[in-house]
Structures are given as structure tokens and as C-alpha cells.
Chain A
Amino acid sequence: MTAWTVLLRGIRHRKGRSLVVLLLATVATTAAVLAPAYGRAAQQSVLTDGLRAAPVTGTSVSVGAEGTASGAPAAHNSTGDAKATVTAALDRHPVLARLLERPIGGVDAEAVLRPASREPLATRLAYRDNVCAHLTLTTGDCPVDAGEVLVSQRLAEARGLDVGQQLTVRVGEPGANAPVQRFTVVGIYTPKDTTERYWGRTAYFTAGGPAGDTAVERVDAVFTTAEDDVRANELATVALRLDYPLRTDAVRLDDVGRLASELSALDSELGLAELDLDQALTTTLTDIGADTGAIARTVPVIAVPLFLLCWFVLFLLVASLTEERGPEIALAKLRGFPAGRIARFGLGEVLLLILLAAPIGVVAGLALVELSAGLMLADGTHVEVRWQVFAAAVVALAAAGVAALLAARRTLRRPVLGLLRRVPERVRWQAGVAEGVVVALAGASLFAALSDRSAPLGLLAPALLAVVAGIVAGRLLGLWSRVRLAVARRRGRVPALLSAAQLARRPATHRVVVVVTVAVALLAFAATAWDVAAQARREYADDTVGANRVYTVAAAHPRALAAALRRADQSGHSMAVVRVSVPYADDHVELVGVESQLLTKVAIWRGESTADVQRLAAALHPELPASLAVKERIEVTASASGLGSVPVRLGAVVAAPGEPPRTANLGTLVSGTRTYQAALPECRGGCRLIGLALSRGVSGSAQYHAALSVRAIRSGGAELAGRFGTPDAWRLAPGVPPAGITIRPGNALALSVTTAHAGEVVVEYADAPLTLPTVLAGSAPADDPHAADFDFPGFTEQPQAFTVAGNATRLPRIGGRGLLFDLDYAVRVAERTTSLADITGLRYEVWAGPEAPADLGNKLAEQGVPVLRSESLSGHLDQLSRRAPALGLRLYLLAGAAAVALAVGVVLLTAYVGADGRLHELAALRVTGVRRRLLRRGVMREYAALLGMPLVVGFVVGGAGALLMLPGIPLVTVDRPAGSLGWRPGLGALPLAVAVTLAGLVLTVLAVLRMLRKATPDRLREGVS
């Protein structure tokens, strides 16, 4: 027989206890492994998510050169040569070489396109590798030879181009004297997906608006498949660009540091070849680094308390088991075993189980992280088996071994007779010192938490406070039990007597109370934090997205967007939104135009009730007459009189959508009644009549006079509802000096003008407010922050009068600083002076409610409004739930659940380890005549006190810890602490934690009661166990 036989038979003999030791040691190892494994996986998840969410510019590297053949020869080399140069450089940078995809080469240059018999158009003549694979050819084929090009469908439709037609192109800036190249249109394209990574940083599909400072209209790019076509003019500025998309999913955490350094080195090397490296990847990685850094700090702080709890539980377990094995150890001592072999005999079983638990714990930890990665982390995130995992396992193993040695030391050192008599030893001073240390640490962590809640010691405060609460609860329960014991003894109540005696005399009571209190407090803290964070994430997502879905789109101008949206979605659950950010006082004020009548249906406006939103929407859109729509031709019937020597010209100011307002000349006024008319060819699709204009018919500065009675305005065969009899329906346009000008309502609009004003005297139709009603968030962007009326640059970038119709803490999607107003009115105001298509700072969005069509993005694209980016509330929430704070809290929740499982294990173990003695006691009591029912009641009372008190104290302390810590902990993003707690109770993690903990403890008590049913008198006979 070997020592192994004794050891293995002992393990089998105590299989229940051995299993618990194995499980606890496994949990301890798992907890230790979790820190590096989960932390790593969470960091990788954040990195992958961050790279996936980053714009193309942030996840690609662009190498290029730009200039003329003499100024930048590299730009006029072939893309193949450039690729060879970069590939040679990348060979020296293995991480970059591995992580960068094959380059997409491209060459493009500004060009002036002149379709036959048409005005010139600005475009980019572009070559891009394999471009036809990324375009849908609606007509024709992909070019194969030089001199063949593809034009966009938009261009073809607008300019009547078709396959086979010739184009004259001058490669160079508009106005430059460049040689003419002739191209044949061989195909007409629409881009498959303009947001595709393939297109990189190019801006090939930006039709509309002038090209630069010229008046030449810009159209979509014209593609060739022969790059020499682009480089034909050596004097032209040619941009050669190689876009290297990053294999975002292949980027590992270890690559981050190397990436930055290799990019820096590559930049220098390429500079020697006159190639520029353009990348925002390092900025993207730095931004992501804030999140990964937060995880690296948070995970150990969460894992350490769990690991320490495991360690403590293991310590208690080994102490109990060794004490239970006291008689066996005494036997070894009695037989004269040397000290070393006694220790081996006494600890061998536990140490073997701990050793066995190490690989199981490693596998369990890795499996748990892999499971978490599959369920919660970014797609493609997997657990990484790294040396740190094994190092943590070795540390856990060593710590478990130390716990076992410390726990068994007392028993192993006891003399034979002491072990045989099993007289409990008095609590020694070391326990008091240990408790004192914990209390001191808790005090320090509390102080740290109050100073800076993000400090590591501060983050340990909830766990340490829980330990202190456990210690206090244990002591209180001991005191309470002694008092109850005295009372029960006086009154002769058997169940109370038994339960109080058991609680008062069992040394394990104190430990059980500490462990259960700590575990429940950890879970309560984690569950509360999770619920609060979940709510904060929902609110953050509501505030950030602003609607159920938001599409960022490319649109020519606000009216084009609104029109396309109406065609794409007739449900009325989506609205066009136009935004612009205006710098103001070292900050930005966001201006948002919304379709206010749809605000209630679409926008998520946290903090405002539906009634509030309705009220604000109504305030943004006061009743105003509809605009006067004109088409192709306008006729004005008017009577003129009082004309002087200076001829006076009558005009109609009209605005075509997206175009600046234009005055159509109706003719020079002549006395008497007559109809003045003008053709409006640009208004085939409909224009808005801004007003009527009177101006001097000849040059000079002489004063002119006119009295005009406008009787009717007709367009498109119908008379416009000019409301001439309504006061203020017509008014003098802003900027026109009012002196000598009168406007009188009546059957006919009576205008009297005596002025020397150099410009036009515009009498505008009052279909737009003079001051734009707005909902203001934050202070007014004016000298007086409380001003109710102020001027501020509007959509036109010109001062616009605003009046505060309402105030709000925050605006949907905008935040706490911005102006929200009605889009239609804002456009009407802007159109009086400017074309909004010319304003480059406008950003176009479509906000959609849950009832809007699910494929709204596609429908918008079909209507010529390509979607650049789409966001959704659920997607944003999903993304937030994978940010560092959520990942940390998830681990906290996991740790809390594991802690409660450990506590249940400790309760069971404490019951089972002393089971033989307890069963003997109960059996003896039954022999003396105590009824089984009374014994059962006694046990139930005992466990109600043993578990009830820590349960209550644990939840209170956990909740208090949450109250203390959560306002200072970033709950949604790492850069923003929660600030204040706005938790609304609901069905979340906390009620679930309460229910699961209660169920677990009740089941534990039932298991104990079931075990104690074996307390029959037979047990008192020797040899029965």
C-alpha cells in the first residue's frame, strides 16, 4: 500500500467534501484566470468594435502624391510603380504588411467636362483599380481601352448623355488652359455603395454645387480604366493614391503599439520616395486605447475581491476539513509518523484536489470567457490562451496552497490528545488583528473613494465595506444569539434554545455570516450597478441617436431631402433633419431644423413628455400662409400710376429649390392697368414666389416714384392666393430702407414707392417668419445668455433672428447646447437670400420612428439620397453594451453571482463538515425525548438567523456601496462618470439577484434539513456513520 492509496481512498471516503474542495479551488482558479483572460477578450472586443465603427478614414492608410509631373513626379508614375515602392517598404514592417489589405490604386485629376453643345461641368477624371466591380452599369459596358469612360446616371440624365456619345475633357482646374482630350461614353453607372470601404477617402459622387470658387457646376466623377488617360496632361495636378484598408478584424491588441511605431517609420521611408502617408489610424487607436485602458484598470479590481473571497472560502474549507480530520491526523501522530509525513497525510487530499482544480479552473475560465465572448463581445472575439493566464493559474495555485497550509497549520500542530478530544480552541488574537486590518483598509478605501472614485483603492471600497459589514454582522449575530439563549433558557423554549445555542457556540457561524454578507453585498452592488448602467445606457442612446433610426444622407439641399423622403416614406413616421454646427465662444452651437409636425412621432426627446413635445412643436411652427408656388410663367396684373421720369421695372423674385433667389423681369411699369409677365424656365418643377420687386429701370441714382396696385398674380394657369386684403400678408423685405415706401392691403395690394435706393425694393410675401421660433438648450448664444430674442448665424451662415419659443435641458441627438427650429420655416427664411445647396456645412439626416419602413435606407437611395451612415437605437445600445464600462460591470455581475454560489457552497459545507457530530447531538436529543418537529424548528430558526441577517445586511451594504460609488464611476463611456443616480426600480438584475439569492439559500436550508433527517437514535451506536 502506498501513500497514494491512503490519499485516494480518503478522497473517495469524503467524496462530497472533496468535490466541494475541488469546486471551490476550481472557482478560485477560474476567478484568477478570468482577470487576464476576460480582460484581454474585453479589450480585444473594444478594439475590434472601435475599428469596425470607425470611419473608413480612421481604418485605412493612404499613400499618395499630388502635383504636376515636374512638381510631384511620383504622382505621375504608374500605380504599379507606387505599389512596388510601398510593398518594398512594408517588407520591413511585418505588422503593417500583415494587417493591411491589398492596395486599391487610383489616380484622379480635376477636369472640365464639356458635353456636346452644353455648358462646362467640373468633374474628376478618375482611374481606380477594378472600378467596374463596384459600380452598377445601368447601360453599356466597362471601358476596356483608353479613351473610354463611364459617366454617372445622374449626369447622364441631367445632361442627356448616352452610351456612344463623345465627351470633351480638359484635365486641369476649371479655367486652366489644358489640352483637350476626347472620350467616348461606353457605360452609365450608379455606385453600388458609396460608403463601401473601397472608395476610401475619395469624393467621387458629390454632384451639385459649384466647383471651388468657380461658377462651374460639379458633377459625379467620370471613370476611365486607363490610368494614362488621367496623366495625359503633365501640367495638370494629378493625385495618385493607394488606399490600404486595414484588416480590422485581424488587428490584435499586441499589434496596436507596433502599428503606431511602424506607421511612423513607414512615413519617413515613403517620404524619401516622395510619397506621402496619410492616415488617421493612430488617432483611432488612441481613442480606442482609452476604453481598453479602462478595462485593463477595472477588470483586476473586480477580479481581486472575487479571488480573495475564493481564497478566504478555501481557507475556511481547508480549516474545517482539516479539523474534521483531526482524529485521523491524531492517529498518524499516535503511530509516530514524522512531522513532514503527518503534514502530507493531513493536507495531501486537499493539495491534490487543489492541484487537480488548477487545470480544470484554467479550462473553465477560458471556456467561460469564450462563452462570454460569443454571447456578449464583438463578433470574432475569442479567448486568448496566453502566458498570463497560466501565470494567474500558478498564482492561484500557490495562493490556494498557502491558504491550505495556513488553514491546516493549527490543526497539524495540535497534540494527539487535543486532536482526539476535539475541544474547540479559543479564538486567537490573530483573528482580531486580521479584522482590524480589514477595517483599516475599508476606511482607507472609503476615503479614497470619496476623493476619487476611479482610484483602484476606491473601487475596492464596496468589497471592503462588505467585509466589514460581514464582520459586524457576525459579531452582532453572536451577541444576539447569546441573549436569545439566555431568554430561551429562562422560558424553556426548545427550538429557540437549540438554535441560539448552536449559533452562539459554533465558531463557523461568524465565518459563514462574513462570507454570505460579502457575497450578497457584492451581488447587490453588481446588480444595482448593472441596472443603473443599463438605464444610463438607454438614456445615453436616446440622447445620442435621438430617434429609433437615424440615416445620415447626402442631399443636394433641404427641399430635395424632404421631397425624396416623402417619396420614400409616406407613413409619416420619418422626418428630414438638417443640421449645422456653428462655432461660438470656444464651443459649438448645433442648429437643427426638423419637420416639427413629425417631432412627436419620430424624435426621442428624453425629459419631455409627449404633451411637452407637442407644445414645443406647435410653438416652432406658428400658423403662416402657404408659400406661393409658381411654374414656368408668371403674370402680374397691376395698375401703375404716379410714375416719374425714371422708368421703374417690376420683377418677380422666385426661388427654385436649391437655387439662389432670382428676380424675373416682368417689364417696365406703364401707367394704367395691364398684365406684366415673365417666363420662368427654371421653375418647371415649381418655384416659390418670394415677392415682387421694384427697381430703377435705368442706371443712376435718381429717385424714382411708382404707385402700384397689384390686382392678381397668376402662374400655371391659376391665380395665386395672394391675400392682398390681409394686413401684413406682404411686407418690405429686410434690408430695404422703409422711407418712402408704403404697403397697403385691400382688394388690390397697393404699393407706393418713392426712393433713391440703389437696390431692388422687394415686397415679400409673408410666408416665412421674420424671427425663427426656436427651442433653446443651454444658454442663448448671445451677450445676454437669457435673451429671448437674438441674432445668430442660421443655415445661410448669415445672421438670423431667433426667438425662444421654449427651453429644454437637452435636444434630441444634439445634447445640451443647441437650437431646434422648424426646417420648412428655416428654409423659407434662407431661400429669401441664398441657395442652401451652396452651404457646405449643412448635414442632412433622416430620423425615423419605429413604424417607419424597415428598408427606408434603400428607399432613400432609390430616391437619389444615398445613405452615408445609418444608426439605430438598438445598434447603439448594443455598441454601448460592449464598451469598457459595460464589460467591466458584466464581469462584476458574474463575480457577484460566483460569490453567492461560493457562499451557498460555504453554508452547505459548514453543515456537512460537522454533520457527524451534529447528527449525533440531534440523535441524542431525540433519545432524550425531544420531538423531531421541535428539532426541525430549531434548525430552521438557526438557519433563518444565520442566513437572514447577512442577506439583509448584504443587500443594504451592496445598495449603499452603489449609492456611494456609482455617481463617480463611468457607466456608459469611459470619459463620462454617471454624475448622479437616476435609477428607476424595475425588472432588472437587482430583483433577479434577490430572487436567485433567496432561492439558492432556501434550497440550501432544505438540503441541510434533509441531511439532518438522518439524526436517528441508531446513529449513537459505535461504528454507525
Chain B
Amino acid sequence: MSAPLGIGVTCRGLVYIYRLEGYDVVALAGVDLDIAPGESLALVGPSGSGKSTLLSLLAGLLRPAAGRVQVGQYDLAKATDADLRRMRSTDVGVVLQGATRNLLPYLTAEQNVRFAQRAVPPQRRRELPAAREVFSLVGLPARGRFRLRPASLSPGERQRLALAVALATRPGLLLADEPTSQLDSRARDEVVAALDAVCAGGTTVVVVTHDPAVGARLGRTVTIRDGRVGAEGRLGEEYAVVGRDGTVHLPADVLRAIPPGTLLRVELQPSGSVLMNPATAPAPAISPAAFVPAAIPPSEATLEVPRTGDGVRASGAFIRDSS
């Protein structure tokens, strides 16, 4: 099997709103995210933070309300339904949460893989890997498992079969939603190993997970919080991410110190660090029009936040007086 070319992902100001009966819910409120081709990335964050929504947007299952999202050659905000289907049939493999949801229960393991491959246009099918190769990639023992139906496989095997089905068309991007949930640690390790192998094969891997261990095994973690990218982890180190609009999600311990509503004076220090100084005086009446988002250089600036007294209101984001 020739290695797939990894597909990069770029999200700019990605917004998604669930329109429910009588009210709307903003699931993603301006996500900026870049994923390099061949990179493996875990989307983490609390339940309801928007991870799965982001994954669905990347898979073309949802249309962004605003912003831009580029998956390989596809601008998903502008792509037609046919484009999105074509994208999923060739470039993007999706693993839904819950292994059985990814499989047709009446087909054997091999037939499930072949079923996924039938979505590829006929002229490109010859380039597709054999089912055996896909099973090998995800670490499924081929002998004796090919002809079993999903119900006859162990939960771990079933999950890897779900991965195999998503990889059946040799996609450049694999999107997996909670691939290790409801698995024991051994099965989880097998699945993570399979993801490693997929990534090693050149496929970009994006995994939604609640499991920090899984996140740690992947090269990069992106924490989604309140519909935005809250932080990023690189090799075990946690970083706040400055958004393209200058917003920064403060870590939880910092938020405890300067709760939402605190006014901060943000000062760039000669050393290159940034000092955020909570204001002591009551906040003047602020007109929203009086402020514009500050442009923060994406340098390796640091934030220093001195402690202040109680009762000070401040914005959670950097602001600058436009006057």
C-alpha cells in the first residue's frame, strides 16, 4: 500500500450555531486551528465544549455558520454537497463515536471495509488497499477475523474494525470521535497503537477524546473550551493559545485568580513578557464601540498577572482603548 499524503486543516474564526426550537446555541465561537499534513492531534475538552461539532465540521457533516475551514483542497464553507461527499469518499475518513455505529451489522469485517471502498469513484478503486492491508494497518489479526460479523468481534477489535473502515479509502485525514471510549486499557492501547500506525503512515489524524492519556500519546492536544481553542499541549506542555482576534483563554487556575469580569491592564514588558495588571478602581462605563480587539503578536510573549483586591470587574479578553 502506498502511503497516503497527509491532508492539512486550517480553521479561521470558525463559528457554528445549533438552531433549536426557540433559541440558538453557539457551539463554536471562532475557532482558529491549523493542523499540518501528517500531524496527529487530539481534541480535548469538557463535554459540550464543541469538540465533536468541530470534528463534524471538519468532516463536512455540518456547515459553518461563519468563518472558514479548509480541509486539503476543499473550502468547506463553499463546497457543494457533492464536493463534501467526494471529500469523504476519498480524502477524509470518519470514525463515529461507538464502534457499532460505523459498521453494517450484517456484513463481515471484510465486507464492511469493501462497502466503504464502494464510495470511491470506480476509476480510483484500483488504487485502494486490499482489506487485508487495512486490517494489518490497524493491527487486526486477519486470520479468522475477516469473515466475522461485528457482533462476533471483541469491543477492541470492533473499534479497530471501525478505524479500518474509515481508512478503507486511504484517506489523507482521519477524524475519530472518542475511539477509545468504553474500552478497557488494553483495548485502548491497541486502538492508540493503531492510530499511531496510521499517523506514521502519513495520514493526518484528528481524534476527539476525553482520555488525557490518549491525548498525550498523540503529538498535539488542542483543548476546546466554550467553543474556542482554549489551550494547546505540545509534548506534555500546556500552552494558552492567542487567537487570531487576540483572544486568549486563560488557564483555570488563572481564572480563579482573576475571575471573569476583572479589568486588566495589559502591558508589554521590555523583556518581551506581557503584564496583565488588574485595575483597582471601579470600571468606567464602557461603550462596546470604544474598544477594538488588540492585535497581539504571535511571539512567545508571556503573561504576568499580579493579584488584586476583590470586587474588580474585568474582561476576560485583552482589550485596548481605541482612543
Question: Which chain A residues have a beta carbon within 8 Å of chain B's beta carbons?
Answer: 1, 3, 5-6, 9-10, 12-13, 327-328, 331-339, 341, 415-417, 420, 1022-1023, 1025
Contacts and interface: CB of A to CB of B under 8 A. Distances in A.
A336 B155 contact: no
B251 interface: no
B107 interface: yes
Contacts of B120: 336
Given A6-B111, A6-B115, A328 B104 contact: yes
Contacts of A3: 118
A338 B158 contact: no
B10 to A, nearest CB: 21
B150 A1 contact: no
Closest 6 CB pairs of A and B: A336-B89, A13-B106, A336-B88, A335-B119, A336-B119, A1-B114
Given A415-B61, A417-B62, A336 B151 contact: no
A1 B85 CA distance: 22
A1 B110 CA distance: 9
9 contacts: A1-B111, A6-B104, A331-B102, A331-B103, A335-B169, A336-B90, A338-B82, A417-B61, A1022-B99
Nearest to A342: B85
A337 B151 contact: no
**Is chain A's interface secondary structure helix, strand, loop, or mixed overall?**
helix
Given A10-B106, A416-B61, A1 B115 contact: yes
B106 A1022 contact: no
Contacts of A13: 105-106
A333 B85 contact: yes
A338 B106 contact: no
A1022 B111 contact: no
Interface string B76-93: 000000101111111000
Contact of A1025 (B102, B107, B151, B165): B151
B182 A1022 contact: yes
B277 interface: no
Interface string B101-138: 11111110011001110111000000000000000000
Nearest to A337: B119
B207 interface: no
B94 interface: yes
B321 to A, nearest CB: 43
Contacts of B119: 332, 335-338, 341
B104 A334 contact: no
B99 to A, nearest CB: 8
B96 interface: yes
Interface of B: 56, 59, 61-62, 82, 84-90, 94, 96, 98-107, 110-111, 114-116, 118-120, 150-151, 155, 158, 165, 169, 182
A1 B111 CA distance: 7
Contact of A336 (B85, B99, B101, B110): B85
Interface centre among B59, B85, B158, B169, by most A CB within 10 Å? Answer: B85
Contacts of B155: 1022-1023
Contacts, number: 80
Contacts of A339: 85
Contacts of B100: 1022-1023
B184 to A, nearest CB: 13
A1023 B150 contact: yes
A9 B107 contact: yes
Contacts of A341: 118-119
A334 B86 contact: no
A416 B175 CA distance: 15
Given A12-B106, A1023-B151, A335 B116 contact: yes
Nearest to A418: B61
A12 B88 CA distance: 29
Contact of B85 (A12, A327, A328, A338): A338
Contacts of B105: 13, 1025
Contacts of B150: 1023
A5 B62 contact: no
Nearest to A417: B61
Given A335-B115, A337-B119, 13 more contacts: A1-B114, A10-B104, A332-B119, A334-B88, A334-B96, A336-B85, A336-B89, A336-B120, A337-B85, A337-B89, A420-B101, A1022-B99, A1025-B151
Nearest to A415: B61
A687 B89 CA distance: 114
A367 B31 CA distance: 68
A336 to B, nearest CB: 3
A151 B90 CA distance: 105
A336 B87 contact: yes
Nearest to B81: A339
A598 B173 CA distance: 104
Contact of A327 (B101, B114, B118): B101
A3 B158 CA distance: 23
A336 B86 contact: yes
A333 B165 CA distance: 14
A25 B110 CA distance: 33
A344 to B, nearest CB: 11
Contact of B88 (A335, A415, A1022, A1025): A335
A1025 B118 CA distance: 27
Contacts of A327: 101
A339 B119 CA distance: 11
A339 B86 CA distance: 11
Contacts of B59: 334
A825 to B, nearest CB: 90
Contacts of B56: 417
Nearest to A336: B89
A224 B102 CA distance: 98
Nearest to B52: A417
A419 to B, nearest CB: 10
Contacts of A416: 61
Contacts of B104: 6, 10, 328, 331
Given A337-B85, A337-B89, A1022 B98 contact: yes
Contacts of A10: 104, 106
Contacts of A334: 59, 61, 88, 94, 96
A271 B83 CA distance: 84
A334 B58 CA distance: 12
A560 B169 CA distance: 105
Contact of A335 (B89, B101, B182): B89
Contacts of B102: 331
